[in-house]
């Protein structure tokens, strides 16, 4: 397990149900604000069910179904099951579900 992916998973696990985080956000929190790309690559290789990778979306809330991790439509179904709402554009309402990392939260 590489330290990089380790940090990413650690952050994704910190994301509570009903909330979502963006790749850039996780990247920044992991200490690499420019490795948003790498975050996606790491999550794409995610094999740990303990990591709610379905709560990770792009900076616009758009979901990218990866056939290696989820079936087409599964990610959205999971988020909706947690209380996350979507817009007519098929994007997550980040204004209401964007995860805000807190120290005491």
Partner DNA sequence: CCGATGACCAAAC
Partner DNA sequence: TGTTTGGCCATCG
Residues near DNA (CB under 7 A) are 2, 4-5, 22-24, 32, 34-46, 53-54, 56, 58-60, 64, 66, 68-70, 75, 89
| Contact criterion met (CB below 8 Å) for 48 and 61 | no
Beta bridge partners of 20: 98
Which CB, 64 or 83, lies closer to DNA? 64
- Which is catalytic among the residues 53, 57, 79, 94? 53
Residue 37: C-alpha distances to residues 31, 47, 51 (Å) = 13, 18, 18
Assess whether 46 carries a catalytic annotation.
no
Which CB, 11 or 39, lies closer to DNA? 39
Which CB, 4 or 86, lies closer to DNA? 4
We find the least distance from the C-beta atom of residue 69 to DNA, in angstroms, to be: 3
Give the active site residues.
53
């Amino acid at each position: 397990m590489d330290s990089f992916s380790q940090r990413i998973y650690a952050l994704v696990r910190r994301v509570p149900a009903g909330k979502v985080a963006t790749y850039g956000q996780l990247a920044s929190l992991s200490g690499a604000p420019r490795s948003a790309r790498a975050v996606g690559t790491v999550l794409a290789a995610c094999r740990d069910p303990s990591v709610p990778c379905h709560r990770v979306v792009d900076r616009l809330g758009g979901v990218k179904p990866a056939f290696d991790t989820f079936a087409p439509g599964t990610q959205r179904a999971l988020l909706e099951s947690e209380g996350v709402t979507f817009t007519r554009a098929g994007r997550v309402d980040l204004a209401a579900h964007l995860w805000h990392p807190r120290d005491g939260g």
